[in-house]
Chain A
C-alpha cells in the first residue's frame, strides 16, 4: 500500500514549474480570454488554494492532538484542586465522602472494583470470543461465516444502556440460582464466598458477565480479521503434514495471530474498564474493599462518576474528575499498548494488506 503512493509524491511537487515551462503558455494564453475554464482558473489560484487546503487539513490533525492534550490538561487541573482538598490519601482511601465535613475520598475501592469487573469480563469473554472468531474463520461454511461476521458487527453497535437494562431486569433475577450454586460448591475459593447468601446478585460478578457480553463483539471482530490473514500456505503445509484441524490451528493460526489476539483482548479490556451505564444499572454500589465477587458490594470508577454526579457540587465534582483522570490514564495505557503491539506486528510480519 505504501510504495505506490510514495511514487506519486514527486510528480505533484515539480508539477507547477513544469506547467509554466511548456504547457502553460498555451493554456494560460488562450483560456482567460474565453472566460476561463475551472481548470486553468485553478491553475492560477492553485498555489494559494493548495496552501489553504493543506493548512486546513494539517490544522485538523493538530486540532485532534490538541483535544487529546486538552483532555489530559483540564482533567489534571481539576483533579489537582480536588486532591488538595482531600483529607484522606487519594490512592489508598476507599471511602467516597465528598459531602461530609472533612472531605475524604480515594480510589482504592473503586479502582479495585473496576479491575475486578474487567478481569471477570476478560476471563469469560476472551476464550468465547476466540472460539467465535475461529468458528467464523476456520469452521463455519463460507456463506454462514460471512453472515455471522455481519451479525457480530451489528451487535457491536447495540448501545450499552440496552445491555444495562437487560442486565438489571433480566440477568440479575436469573443469577440468583447460579450465585447460590457457586457459593455452595466453590465458596471455599474465597472469591465465590457469599457473606449473606440469597442477596440480590447486583454484584461485580454479574457486572463482569454483562461486560463480557458487551466486549465479545469487538474482541471477535479484531481477532477474526487476524485469523483470516494467516497465510494459506502455512495452513496447507500443516494439513499436508497430517495435522488435524485443531493441530493446524495450534501450530499455524495461533502463533501467527498471537499478538493480534493480545491486542484484541486489550481493546476489549479498555472498553470494559470504561463502561459506565451497564455497570450503573446492574450494580448496587458501596465503597468498601471486598474480594467476594458475589456480594453486592464494590463499585467502579465510571459508575461512581455517573451515580454521584447528580448530587455533587464544587469539590465533589472535582473529585469525580480526579477519578475520571485515573480512568483516562488507565485506558490510555491499555489502548496505547494494544495499538503498539498491533503496529509492531505489522512491521515484522509484512502482512500489510
Chain B
C-alpha cells in the first residue's frame, strides 16, 4: 500500500461529500421553473398556488439531491433550513398585504377635509365626511385612561421593585399583573358595563370607555416600569441612602428620574396598545357621528370605532372611509411606537448591567 493511496483514502473518509454551494440556487430555479410549468399547464389561476407549489418542489428537490450526495442527516438539515425560510416568507406575505391594502386604499380618502370634518349629516352612500369627531374622542379617552393608569401603574411597579421584594403580596400582585395582561378587552368592557353603567346607572360616555382602557393599560405600564426600575444600578440607591436621604426621596429624586426614559417609553407603548381597542369603546362610548368635545356627557366616537361603524354600514363610500380611518389609526399607533422606541434608545440607563 503506497502512502499516496493512504492519504487519499484518509481525506475521503475525514471530509464528507458536500453539495457545491451553488446547488440550492440551481434547485430553486428548477423548482420555480417546474412550478410555472405546472401552474401554466393545469391553468391554475391563483398566483399564491404557484408559489406554494414552487416552495414544496424546492424542498423536495433539495432533500433528494442532498440525500444522494451528502446523506440523510444533511438532507434533513436542508429541509429544516428551507422550512424555516418558508415560515418566514409565509408570515411576511399577509403582514405586507395588510399594510399594503391599508395604505393603498386609505391614502385616496385622506385629505384635509377628511381630517377636519365629522360624519354629521353625511349619508352612508355619500362621499366626504371625516373622522375629526373620532380623533377628538380617541385623544380624550386615551388621555383620561393614561392619567388614571400611569400613576397607579408606576406606583405599583415601585412597590414591586423597591418595597415588595418577594413578599407574598408582591408575588400575588406580580402574578396578577401577568394574568391581567391577558384579560380580553371585551371582558374589561363588560366589567365597566356591569359596574359603572348597570349598577351605578351612569350614561354611555367617553369616560366610561376610558375606565375600561385604563384597566387594559395598567398591566402594560406596571410590567415595563418594573423592568426599567430593575435596570437602575443599585449603587445609585445606596449612595443616596448613605447620604441620609429618606427612601421615598431616593425613589422620587434618584431612581425614577434615572429610569424616566424607560418609563415614558413603557407608557407610550401602553398607549399605543389601547389606541386600537375597539370592543370596550363599542360597548361603553356607544359611538356618535357628531363632534362631542365633552368626554363626561353623551356618547363620543373613536378611531377604531369609526372604522368599525363605517365598515358595518356596508356601502362602497363608507368602506372607503373605513380604510381611511384604518390608515390614520395605523399611522397613530406606529408614530407612538417609533417615538417611544426612540426615547428608549436615547434615555436608556447608562452603565446598567443586566
Q: Which residues of A contact B (CB under 8 A)?
A: 1-2, 4-6, 8-9, 11-12, 15-16, 19, 23-24, 27, 39, 42-43, 45-47, 49-50, 52-54, 56-65, 67-68, 70-71, 74-75, 77-78, 127-132, 134-135, 139, 150, 153-155, 157-166, 168-171, 174, 177, 213, 216, 220, 244-247, 249, 267, 270-271, 273-277, 280-281, 302, 305-306, 309, 317-318, 320-321, 324, 327-328, 331-332, 334-336, 338-339, 343, 353
Contact = CB atoms under 8 A, between A and B. Distances in A.
B242 interface: yes
Residue among A8, A139, A162 with max Cβ neighbours from chain B (10 Å): A162
B160 A61 contact: yes
Interface string B84-106: 11111011001101110110000
Given A127-B87, A245-B77, A336-B179, A276 B186 contact: yes
A309 B283 contact: yes
17 contacts: A1-B354, A8-B234, A39-B243, A42-B245, A53-B248, A57-B158, A157-B333, A157-B334, A161-B276, A163-B98, A213-B95, A302-B186, A320-B190, A321-B193, A331-B182, A335-B179, A339-B175
A157 B77 CA distance: 34
B319 A169 contact: yes
A74 B192 CA distance: 9
Given A163-B98, A165-B307, A244-B76, A305 B248 contact: no
B278 A160 contact: yes
B149 to A, nearest CB: 10
A171 to B, nearest CB: 8
Nearest to B153: A60
Given A27-B244, A61-B173, A53 B252 contact: yes
A42 B127 CA distance: 64
Residue among B95, B166, B245 with max Cβ neighbours from chain A (10 Å): B95
Given A132-B87, A134-B84, A277-B304, A162 B279 contact: no
A159 B283 contact: no
A273 to B, nearest CB: 7
A68 B179 contact: yes
Given A162-B102, A166-B101, A271 B162 contact: no
Contact of A159 (B46, B165, B248, B329): B329
A53 B186 CA distance: 34
A244 B70 CA distance: 12
Residue among B87, B190, B241, B323 with max Cβ neighbours from chain A (10 Å): B190
A141 to B, nearest CB: 13
Given A64-B156, A270-B182, A339-B178, A4 B234 contact: yes
Interface stretch (B32-40, B108-116, B194-202, B258-266): B194-202
Residue among A63, A64, A305 with max Cβ neighbours from chain B (10 Å): A64
B84 A139 contact: yes
Contacts of A128: 87, 90-91
B330 interface: yes
A75 B50 CA distance: 50
B166 A2 contact: yes
Nearest to A269: B182
B77 A273 contact: no
Interface string B264-282: 0000010011011111001
Given A61-B169, A162-B330, A247-B73, A70 B95 contact: no
A305 B193 CA distance: 12
A42 B247 CA distance: 10
A76 B272 CA distance: 31
Contact of B155 (A56, A71, A75): A56
Given A162-B102, A331-B182, A64 B276 contact: no
Interface of B: 45-46, 73-74, 76-77, 79-81, 83-88, 90-91, 94-95, 97-99, 101-102, 151-153, 155-156, 158-166, 169-170, 172-173, 175-188, 190-191, 193-195, 198-199, 215, 218-219, 222, 230, 234, 237-238, 241-249, 251-252, 269, 272-273, 275-279, 282-283, 304, 307-308, 311, 319, 322-323, 326, 329-330, 333-334, 337, 341, 354
B176 A71 contact: no
Contacts of B169: 58, 61-62
B81 A46 contact: no
Contact of A9 (B46, B153, B165, B242): B165
A45 B234 CA distance: 24
A306 B182 contact: no
B180 A306 contact: no
A162 B328 CA distance: 11
Contacts of A130: 87
A40 to B, nearest CB: 8
Contacts of B98: 158, 162-163, 166, 213
A161 B306 CA distance: 10
Given A132-B87, A244-B74, A157 B182 contact: no
Contact of B172 (A5, A65, A135, A213): A65
Contacts of B161: 5
A228 B172 CA distance: 28
A5 B81 CA distance: 43
A286 B340 CA distance: 42
Contacts of A1: 230, 354
Contacts of B73: 244, 247
Given A162-B102, A246-B76, A334-B182, 17 more contacts: A1-B354, A11-B241, A57-B163, A64-B152, A65-B173, A68-B180, A71-B183, A74-B191, A158-B276, A158-B333, A160-B276, A164-B308, A274-B185, A305-B283, A306-B283, A335-B182, A336-B179
B191 A75 contact: yes
B276 A162 contact: yes
